[in-house]
């Protein structure tokens, strides 16, 4: 299949999906830099993006060690079909409400993933180390996105309308990240935000596990990878 398959174990695949999810979500948030609604929110999104980047790097370094590559090989020299991030992470930012709701869904996913990895003694200690740090970071991210979902959903007519539009657009991408725990985390916040919760069994997009992505990932990678590809081996 892909060139990662030779050395990949089942856990490596799962860790790669997690690493790529964090990396791509981080890049999307970084696109808000200098464009967020307020200076304070600009810094907040930047902080979250940097946390996610740190999490991605920790995992990519472990995977790279095990497969004889470097983290830069994995981040900058793979093609779109080799990425395993959940599709929702690569969706364009849209308006601020769309970004917040996307990040809320991602945060709620990671809120289950990180504690499970941190608390499992059979998990690779390098991955567990990343997870232990990420549990605390994610708790803040989830708090940030949750409070914004509440404010915007239960805010003005316009913010409510925009959140409804975002929910319609994003709900079909929950398939790879949703679990019973995820629904239990997400649905009460959506309800409190006065948003109509779509059904759990509504149609959802296929996963990226076999390398299928939306058209948006290629453009994202073109920007994210251009510097490293123009100047291979450059450090900064």
Partner 1 sequence: MINGEGRRAWPLWEVFIRSRNGLHHAHVGSVHAVDAEMAVENARDVYTRRGEGVSIWVVPSAAIVASDPGDKESLFDPALDKVYRHPTFYEVPDGVSNL
- Residues that bind partner 1 in the complex, under the rule CB under 8 A: 37-41, 43-44, 47, 140, 143-144, 147, 151
- Looking up tokens 């990180």, which residue turns up? 114
Least distance to partner 1, CB of residue 38, Å: 6
| Nearest-angstrom CA–CA distance, 5 and 69 | 13
| Nearest-angstrom CA–CA distance, 190 and 196 | 7
- Looking up tokens 């892909």, which residue turns up? 2
Nearest CB to partner 1, comparing residues 29 and 63: 29
Show the tokens assigned to 2.
């892909």
Least distance to partner 1, CB of residue 59, Å: 23
Nearest CB to partner 1, comparing residues 135 and 177: 135
- Looking up tokens 């995820």, which residue turns up? 182
Least distance to partner 1, CB of residue 95, Å: 12
Least distance to partner 1, CB of residue 94, Å: 17
Nearest CB to partner 1, comparing residues 49 and 111: 49
Least distance to partner 1, CB of residue 140, Å: 8
Least distance to partner 1, CB of residue 191, Å: 19
Nearest CB to partner 1, comparing residues 37 and 92: 37
Q: Contacts for 140-148 with beta carbons within 8 Å, 24 or more apart?
A: 141/48, 141/51, 141/103, 141/107, 141/110, 142/104, 142/107, 142/108, 142/110, 142/111, 142/185, 144/44, 144/48, 145/100, 145/101, 145/103, 145/104, 145/107, 146/104, 146/107, 146/189, 148/100, 148/104
Nearest CB to partner 1, comparing residues 44 and 221: 44
What is the C-alpha radius of gyration for the chain, rounded to an integer number of angstroms? Answer: 17
Nearest CB to partner 1, comparing residues 39 and 230: 39
């Amino acid at each position: 299949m892909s060139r990662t398959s030779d050395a990949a174990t089942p856990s490596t695949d799962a860790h790669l999906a997690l690493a790529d999810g964090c990396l791509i979500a981080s890049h999307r948030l970084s696109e808000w830099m200098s464009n967020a609604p307020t200076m304070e929110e600009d810094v907040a999104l930047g902080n979250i993006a940097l946390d996610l980047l740190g999490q991605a790097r920790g995992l990519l370094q472990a995977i790279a060690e095990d497969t004889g590559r470097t983290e830069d090989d994995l981040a900058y020299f793979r093609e779109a079909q080799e990425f395993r991030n959940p599709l929702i992470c690569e969706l364009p930012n849209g308006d601020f409400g769309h970004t917040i709701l996307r990040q809320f869904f991602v945060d709620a996913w990671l809120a289950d993933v990180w504690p499970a990895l941190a608390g499992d003694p059979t998990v690779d200690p390098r991955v567990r180390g990343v997870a232990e740090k990420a549990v605390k970071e994610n708790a803040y991210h989830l708090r940030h996105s949750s409070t914004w979902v509440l404010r915007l959903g239960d805010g003005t007519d316009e913010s409510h309308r925009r959140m409804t539009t975002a929910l319609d657009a994003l709900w079909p991408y929950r398939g790879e990240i949703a679990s019973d725990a995820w629904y239990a985390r997400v649905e009460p916040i959506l309800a409190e935000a006065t948003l109509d919760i779509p059904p759990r069994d509504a149609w959802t997009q296929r996963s990226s596990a076999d390398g299928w992505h939306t058209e948006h990932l290629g453009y994202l990678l073109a920007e994210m990878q251009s510097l490293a590809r123009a100047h291979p081996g450059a450090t900064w």
